[in-house]
Structure 1
């Protein structure tokens, strides 16, 4: 007896690909299958049959459905999720210490520094990042501050320079977040954009102070305010 949960698949057709020596173009024959599973009625693959085969092999729709699907329970640091094909994610990270890399032209050694809590918003092509002056999970009314990094535009968009962004069409939520954080922290910071200084002090000197003292937390009182709250990103 076959369990009710199992599905039986009966052979319906078969394809045979023929290739001649020296030719890059194959010849394909289509075979029907009789009731005993034997191939019969061979004939060249028709346009209609080729279209049906192309549709069966097209995984784009399934990949789109998998985009931004969480691997398990929704991560607690995710604040907003748009799982459409061109969707986006808003998430936050708690205060942490991270190694930053700097272009030689900046004259600053690579090093690990303390960072404030951060709010991130990304889609497949671009990233925005802001800072928080709190350590707890932000709410819709929580004010956003300029993130304390080089290579940022006034509205929080990140200039990724020569970094190649390659977000997979079927990235899970966790893969998407990890990829963007990797792109950001593994890139080389080099300059202020349009003279936009995101903090109320010299950022170069601030980094040197934080790298010199591993125990020093990020001084959130020097963060510069933006007119935005979290709900503006949702």
Structure 2
């Protein structure tokens, strides 16, 4: 029987010390679970202690640490703001987009019809997508956002206060890689916007959000009026946990 050799090449001359062990479990249905165990030395031999479930955040930190020396290739467009694990965040500069609305009977008359659509000016937007999240926020200005950029509530119907997008019947793209950015953008803008999903103000506008989008559809504004945006109370850096210690 052939024996396979195994060795560890450290990035420095430091000596590696065994501190923790990760055990992986796979279910027949395809589910997976990872547990982290502290390792103690007893009479010179390593002993694996009791484990605790590994969080998704801890798994990403571990993967990032293991891949620090790996080379990453591929062109990243300027609009990509953050890429880590399956989390992708990108910026959509202010532009004009066609939006379609389908409101309830109780708002149709004041809205100017139950179904309406038009190309309108949009504010700058930040989208985030992953295997279990799809969110959007608004930003002011035309420059690429930085960690200190304040975030504002996305002024659209079908978006929750935390930025979460109500998918409804809109098809959700598969995967959150850079090449899927256009697919995510189209999935959002080509959906029907039906009603506000917030309990607080969606926009700062006399008459509320229905009056605002009615006036937008009527072509009242040539540029998006950024004064209507509601402060989300955070910045891009705070949203990403920049400067905060991992728990």
- Check whether TM > 0.5: yes
Moved more, 102-111 or 130-139: 102-111
The aligned counterpart of 1:198 is 202
The alpha-carbon distance between structure 1 residues 213 and 164, as it changes in their structure 2 partners (threshold 3 A), is closer
The structure whose Rg is larger is 1
Per-residue deviation at 1:213?
A: 2.4
- Give per-residue Cα distances to partners, 1:20-42, cap 9 Å, x unaligned: xxxxxxxxxxxxxxxxxxxxxxx
**Structure 1 residue 73, shift from structure 2 partner:** 2.0
In the TM superposition, what whole-angstrom CA distance separates every residue of 1:19-72 from its partner, at most 9, and x where no partner exists? xxxxxxxxxxxxxxxxxxxxxxxxxxxxxxxxxxxxxxxxxxxxxxxxxxx995
Relative contact order, CA 8 A, sep 6+: which one is greater? 1
What CA RMSD, in Å, does the superposition of the two structures yield over aligned residues? 2.2
SS of 1:89's partner is strand
Q: 217, 226, 241: which one pairs with 1:211? A: 217
**Counterpart Cα distance in 1 of 2:121 and 2:74:** 30
2:229 corresponds to 1:223: yes
The gaps in structure 2 that reach 5 residues or longer are 1-71, 108-113, 241-247
So what's the TM-score if we normalise by structure 1? 0.62
The answer on whether the counterparts of 1:153 and 1:196 sit within 8 Å (CA) in structure 2 is no
What are the superposed Cα offsets for residues 70-100 of structure 1, whole Å, 9 maximum, x if unpaired?
A: 9952100111101x3xx11111111111111
**Count of residue pairs the alignment pairs up:** 159
Contact 1:111 1:211 in 2 (8 A): yes
Shift of 1:166: 4.0
Structure 1: distance between partners of 2:185 and 2:151: 19
Q: Which residue of 2 aligns with 1:38?
A: none
Q: Give the match for residue 27 of structure 1.
A: none
Normalising to structure 2: TM-score of the pair? 0.59
Give 5+ residue unaligned stretches, structure 1: 1-69
